[in-house]
Structure 1
Amino acid sequence: MARTQPSQSARLIPLAAAIGDIATLSIAVIIAMIGRQQLTFFNPSADVADAVSIAAGPLLFGWVSMLLGVGAYTRDIFGAGTEEYKLVLKASLLSAGLLGIGCFLTRFNLSRGFFLLAFAIGVPLLLLWRLALRRSIQHTRRHGHLREGVVIAGNPRHIDDLAAVLRRESWLGYTVLGALITPGSEQVETPAGIPVLGSTEDMAAAIEGAKADVVIFVDGAFNSAHDLRRAMWDLEGQSVRAIVVPSLSDISSERLKVRPVAGLPLVHVDAPRTVQASHWAKRAFDFLGSLGILALISPVLLAVAVAVKFHDGGPVLFRQTRVGRDGRVFSCLKFRSMVVDAEQRLTDLEVNHERSSVLFKLVDDPRVTRPGRLIRRLSLDELPQLWNVLRGQMSLVGPRPPLPHEAASYGTDMRRRLRVRPGMTGLWQVSGRSDLSWDETVRLDLYYVDNWSMVQDLNILARTVSAVLSSRGAY
C-alpha cells in the first residue's frame, strides 16, 4: 500500500505557519502604529511615536519567539484539536505580560494605545490565520496531499477499528500502510484487509521497510509496560513519531492529568461533566446565540418558508414529538421537507432500511419534495429549531433529539444521552452525520455528554459550517 505523497511535504507545515505568523503579526503591528498616530484620543506626541518605532521590532521578534518557545510550531498540533489555539493564546498573553513588565522595569515610555491596539488586533488576526491554515491543511489532506504514512500495532480488531476512523476522517492526513500484530500469528492481513508487515517484536525493521512516519499502538500491542518501553528503545534514532491509543480513548484530555509517582505515570481521571453540560453558562450562551442567529438569518427563514408553501400548498413547519433532557418530550420544529402524508408512507419504506432499526434514514427517500432536497442538503430544514433552543427545550450543541420509540429502546448506556439538552448540531453531525453507523453515533454522543466543555462547543459550531457546506452525510 503506497503512500500518496512523500512525508517531507508534511514537515513544511510548521515553516508555513511561522511565515504566516510573522506576516500576520507584522500587519497587526503596522496597524497599531498607524492607529496610535491617527486616533486623536490617544494624544499622539513625537516622543511617544519614536518609542513606538523602537518597540515595534522587538515586539514582533519577541512574540514569534514566544510562539516558538511554547511549542506552537510542533508538528503534532496542526490540523486537529484545540491545543494549537491554546498555545497561540498562551504565547500572546505571555508576550503582553513580559512586554508590560519590561517597559515598567526599564521605564521605557511605550504608548499604551500602541500596546492595546497591537494585542487587540494581533491576537484575533493570529487565531484567524491559524484557522485558515488549518482549513487549508485539512482540504489538502482530503485530496491526498500532506499525508503521513502510519503503521498500526496491536490486536487486529482494534487495528481495523482505528484504520476505519483514519480512512473516514481523511482530513487527519494519515495513510495506513500496514499492521503489526503480536508474535505467533500467521495472518497476512487483518479482517479488514490491512496487510500485516510483521510482529511487534520486529517493529523497527518493519517500520523502516514501510518508510512510515508514525506508529500507533492500540490495545493488544504489548503484554506489559516493559514491552512498550523496549519498543520505544528500538525506535530511538528513527524519525518516527509514536502515538498510543489508550483504553481511556473516550475521555477527553481535559479530564486526564498525568502525575508521575515513583517512576509510574499515574493518570488521574476527573468525573464526567454531565452536570456542567447543563450549567447556566451554557444556557445563557444558547439563549443569546439563538436570539442573535434568528435575527441575522430572518431573510433566509422567510425565503425557505415561501418556497415550501408555494411548492404544494402544505404547512410550512413540520412538528414532531422528540425526547429531550431527562426524558421530557417536546415538539421539535423543522421546515417541512417531505410530502404531507410522509408519516403514513413510513411503514411501507421500513423494509428497505439499510441501517440499525433504532435510527431510520434512507439515502434516497422518495417522500422528500423538490425544495426539501435542497434545504435538507444544506440543513436549512433544521433552522426553526432555534426557537426550541430559545425556549430551553434544546441547545445549540448536543446529542440529536431521539423519537419516543427510539428512546424507549435505549439501554442503560444510551440513556446517558438524555442527561443533557439535545442539540441542533453535535459531534456526530460534524463527523459524518448519516454516513456513521448507529454505534459510532452513540459513542460520539456519549463522549460529548461525558466530556463537555465550552471550547468543545465552539469548536463543534465552527466545524458545523464546513460540514453543512460539504453536505457530507446529509440526506
Structure 2
Amino acid sequence: MRQGELVSPFPSTSGRLPDGPDGAGRTIRPSESDWEQRYRRTVITADTLATALVVGVIGEFFGVRDAANWHEKWGILAFGTELLVLGALAVSRAWAPAVLGQGAEEFRRLGRSLFMATVVLALGGIALTSRNIKLWIFVAVPAIALVVMIARYVLRLRLHRQRKAGRCLRPVLAAGDPATVRDLITRTRKFPHLGWRVDAVCTTDGLGPGTEHTDHVGGVPVVGRLTDVANHVRRDGYRVVAITPDPHWSPERLQRLAWNLEGSEAEMVVAPVLMEVAGPRLHVDAVLGIPLLRVSMPAFTGGRRVVKEIVDRLGAALLLLLFAPLMALVALLVRVDSRGGAFYRQRRVGKDGREFTILKFRTMVVGAHRARATLADHNEGAGLLFKLRRDPRVTRVGAVLRRYSIDELPQLLNVLTGSMSLVGPRPPLPEESAAYGPDIRRRLLVKPGLTGLWQISGRSDLPWEEAVRLDLRYVEDWSLALDTVILWKTLRAVLYGQGAY
C-alpha cells in the first residue's frame, strides 16, 4: 500500500487476487478477511467516539455548574462511566466479528452490555454513596445506548449495500448432500446481506447431482469429496465451512474435521436437522461428555410475554396519540372520496382460534366483498390469499393508503384492547384459517400482529409457502430483540411500499 493511502472499512473489491504461479486458475483468498478486521476496528472506534461524545456533552451541560470540582467529582464519574461501558461491550463480545452486521444478535449483545454497565454503575454508586450517580444511570447510559445503536445501524446499512454489490462477503465451502447444499446456495443468494458467498462445494463422491455427473451444484463448482474438505480449506483459505445434512457426516467424522480445521481461520458451521429453529431456543449442553443440541419449548407464557403485553398496550396508546391528527384527516378524505363510512370492519382469527373484529380505514368501494366472486379468475394472491395488483374495487384514496399501510393504523385500537399485538403473524380470515393444516395452525398460538416478518420481507409479493414459513419462524423463535428489529425495519418497508397493494 502506498504511503498516505487511506484504507476504507468497506473495500471496493471482493478481495480476489490474480492467479499466481503456485496454482493456475486457483483463487487465493487470504486478503478477503481484511475487510472484517477493518470493519471491526471501525465499529470499535465508532462505539468509543459515541460514548465519549455523550459523556462530554453531559459534562458540558451538567458539570459547568460546579466547575471548581469538575475534575474531582464529574471527571471521575465521566471517565468511569465510559470505561465501564466499553469494558462491558468487550466482556459481552459485542465486537466479535461473527455478530457484527448479523441480525438481531448484534443488538442483543449491545443491550446486554449496556444493562450490565448500568447494574455495575448503580452498585458502585451505592457503595460510594455518590449523589450524582443517578445522572449517569438514567441519562448517560440510555443516551450512550441510543447513539451507539444509531451508529451501528448506519455502519450496518453501508455494509449491507456493499454485500448486495457482491463485496464484503465471506467465502464459504459447503459440504454435504447436493440437495441440501443447493438449498444453502439459494438462501445465501437471496439474502446477500447475511454475508455468505458459497464459492465451492464438496460432495460424497466429488460430483454434482444427476446421472450426468455434473461438476456444479447450483452453479457453484464441486471441488472434491467430503473427505477432502480440510485440505481445500487450508489450500484456498475459505472463511466458513458449512456442513449440511448428509449420511456421511457421523459424529466421529465431524469431530475429526473440526480437529483438522484447527489452526486455520475457517469457522465450522453445522446445519441442524431442525433448520427453522434458531435464536434463543437452541442450546448446546454437554451431558456425560456428549455434546447435545437442546431445543427448548417456545415461550408462549412467562415474564417475557408479560413485558411484550405491556409494551404492546403502552406502544399502541402512544402511537394513537401521535397519529390522531393524521387519522382524523384520513377519515375525512375517505368519506369525501367515495360513498360509505371511513372504517372497514372485518372478522379475523386471533390467538387460539378466537375470532375478533379488525379495524381498518376503508380502501374499497361499498359492497366490494360481494364483487369478489366476479374477480376470482384474476386472483394474483399466493396460496389461500386473494390479491389483485390493480383491483378495480380500490378507491383513489384507498390506493395511497394501501401503498404506505396507512389503512392499518386503526388496528392500533385492536392492539390496545388486546386482540392483536404490535408484532406477530398476519391475522387470517376465518375461511382461510378453516383450510389450515395442523402445521400452519401453529400460527394461532400467538396473537396476530400489526407488523411481522411477513411485513418486512415483501408482504403480498411473497409466495404462500414463504409467508407461512416466516410466520412459523416467528412463533418458534420469538424474542423481545426480534420484535425490536422487526419494528425498526417496518418503517423502511412502509416507506418503500414493497408488496403493498
For the aligned pair, the TM-score class normalised by the smaller chain equals: 0.7 to 0.9
In the alignment, structure 1 residue 122 sits paired with structure 2 residue 148:
no
For residues 299 and 248 of structure 1, the distance between their equivalents in structure 2, rounded to whole angstroms, comes to: 47
For residues 388 and 62 of structure 1, the distance between their equivalents in structure 2, rounded to whole angstroms, comes to: 42
For residues 87 and 141 of structure 1, the distance between their equivalents in structure 2, rounded to whole angstroms, comes to: 23
- Distance 1:432-1:195 versus aligned 2 partners, 3 A rule: farther
In the alignment, structure 1 residue 462 sits paired with structure 2 residue 488:
yes
CA contact (8 A) 2:360 2:409 kept: yes
Equivalent position SS for 2:357: strand
For residues 16 and 278 of structure 1, the distance between their equivalents in structure 2, rounded to whole angstroms, comes to: 34
> More deviation in 211-220 or 23-32?
211-220
Instruction: For residue 27 of structure 1, report the CA deviation from its aligned partner.
Output: 0.8
Alignment equivalent of 2:300, drawn from 264, 269, 274: 274
- Distance 1:168-1:4 versus aligned 2 partners, 3 A rule: farther
CA contact (8 A) 1:277 1:449 kept: no
CA contact (8 A) 2:173 2:201 kept: yes
Q: Deviations over 1:176-217 (max 9, x none)?
A: 334332226453366754443333222245456766432322
- Distance 1:112-1:244 versus aligned 2 partners, 3 A rule: same
Counterpart residue number, 1:361: 387
Q: Deviations over 1:341-370 (max 9, x none)?
A: 433443343334456432233444444333
Alignment equivalent of 1:164, drawn from 186, 195, 201: 186
Higher relative contact order (CA 8 A, sep 6+): 1
For residues 186 and 257 of structure 1, the distance between their equivalents in structure 2, rounded to whole angstroms, comes to: 34
- Distance 1:47-1:129 versus aligned 2 partners, 3 A rule: same
Q: Percent identity?
A: 36
> More deviation in 82-91 or 18-27?
82-91
Counterpart residue number, 2:353: 327
CA contact (8 A) 1:51 1:110 kept: no
CA contact (8 A) 2:81 2:136 kept: no
Q: Deviations over 1:107-129 (max 9, x none)?
A: 79895366445434323332333
RMSD of Structure 2 on Structure 1 (CA): 3.2
CA contact (8 A) 1:277 1:453 kept: no
In the alignment, structure 1 residue 148 sits paired with structure 2 residue 174:
no
Instruction: For residue 432 of structure 1, report the CA deviation from its aligned partner.
Output: 2.7
In the alignment, structure 1 residue 199 sits paired with structure 2 residue 225:
yes
Counterpart residue number, 1:67: 89
The letter of the residue matching 1:343 is: H
Q: Deviations over 1:95-118 (max 9, x none)?
A: 45666777888x798953664454
CA contact (8 A) 1:10 1:147 kept: no
Instruction: For residue 169 of structure 1, report the CA deviation from its aligned partner.
Output: 2.4
Counterpart residue number, 1:390: 416
Instruction: For residue 132 of structure 1, report the CA deviation from its aligned partner.
Output: 3.3
Counterpart residue number, 1:430: 456
Equivalent position SS for 2:358: strand
For residues 366 and 468 of structure 1, the distance between their equivalents in structure 2, rounded to whole angstroms, comes to: 23
The letter of the residue matching 1:371 is: V
Counterpart residue number, 2:14: 5
Equivalent position SS for 2:369: helix
For residues 386 and 268 of structure 1, the distance between their equivalents in structure 2, rounded to whole angstroms, comes to: 37
Instruction: For residue 30 of structure 1, report the CA deviation from its aligned partner.
Output: 0.9
Equivalent position SS for 1:332: strand
Counterpart residue number, 2:477: 451
Give 5+ residue unaligned stretches, structure 2. 1-11, 16-31
Instruction: For residue 16 of structure 1, report the CA deviation from its aligned partner.
Output: 1.0
- Distance 1:357-1:84 versus aligned 2 partners, 3 A rule: closer
Equivalent position SS for 1:297: helix
- TM-score normalised by L of structure 2: 0.82
Counterpart residue number, 1:258: 284
- Distance 1:182-1:51 versus aligned 2 partners, 3 A rule: same
For residues 277 and 58 of structure 1, the distance between their equivalents in structure 2, rounded to whole angstroms, comes to: 33
Counterpart residue number, 2:19: none
Equivalent position SS for 2:297: coil
For residues 289 and 123 of structure 2, the distance between their equivalents in structure 1, rounded to whole angstroms, comes to: 38
Alignment equivalent of 1:417, drawn from 434, 437, 443: 443
The letter of the residue matching 2:104 is: T
In the alignment, structure 1 residue 441 sits paired with structure 2 residue 441:
no
> More deviation in 456-465 or 52-61?
52-61
> More deviation in 407-416 or 168-177?
168-177
Counterpart residue number, 2:68: 46
Counterpart residue number, 1:242: 268
For residues 81 and 312 of structure 1, the distance between their equivalents in structure 2, rounded to whole angstroms, comes to: 44
- Distance 1:221-1:167 versus aligned 2 partners, 3 A rule: farther
For residues 210 and 377 of structure 1, the distance between their equivalents in structure 2, rounded to whole angstroms, comes to: 48
Counterpart residue number, 2:322: 296
In the alignment, structure 1 residue 473 sits paired with structure 2 residue 499:
yes
Counterpart residue number, 1:175: 197
In the alignment, structure 1 residue 27 sits paired with structure 2 residue 53:
yes
Alignment equivalent of 2:364, drawn from 338, 341, 351: 338
Instruction: For residue 410 of structure 1, report the CA deviation from its aligned partner.
Output: 0.6
Counterpart residue number, 1:215: 241
Equivalent position SS for 2:98: helix
The letter of the residue matching 2:226 is: T
CA contact (8 A) 1:33 1:114 kept: no
> More deviation in 27-36 or 418-427?
27-36
Equivalent position SS for 2:485: helix
CA contact (8 A) 2:338 2:395 kept: no
Equivalent position SS for 1:338: coil
Instruction: For residue 26 of structure 1, report the CA deviation from its aligned partner.
Output: 0.8
Listed as ranges, the matches of 1:131-142 within 5 Å are 131-142=153-164
The letter of the residue matching 1:158 is: T
CA contact (8 A) 2:108 2:481 kept: no
CA contact (8 A) 2:245 2:272 kept: yes
In the alignment, structure 1 residue 112 sits paired with structure 2 residue 133:
yes
For residues 115 and 303 of structure 2, the distance between their equivalents in structure 1, rounded to whole angstroms, comes to: 28
Equivalent position SS for 2:450: strand
Equivalent position SS for 1:342: coil
For residues 250 and 260 of structure 1, the distance between their equivalents in structure 2, rounded to whole angstroms, comes to: 23
Instruction: For residue 45 of structure 1, report the CA deviation from its aligned partner.
Output: 6.7
CA contact (8 A) 2:85 2:113 kept: yes
Q: Deviations over 1:232-282 (max 9, x none)?
A: 233333322222221233333322332213332123332222345994443
Give 5+ residue unaligned stretches, structure 1. none
Equivalent position SS for 1:149: strand
Instruction: For residue 288 of structure 1, report the CA deviation from its aligned partner.
Output: 1.8
Report how many residues are paired. Answer: 468
- Distance 1:335-1:30 versus aligned 2 partners, 3 A rule: same
Counterpart residue number, 1:80: 102
For residues 130 and 308 of structure 2, the distance between their equivalents in structure 1, rounded to whole angstroms, comes to: 43
The letter of the residue matching 1:216 is: A
CA contact (8 A) 1:318 1:334 kept: yes
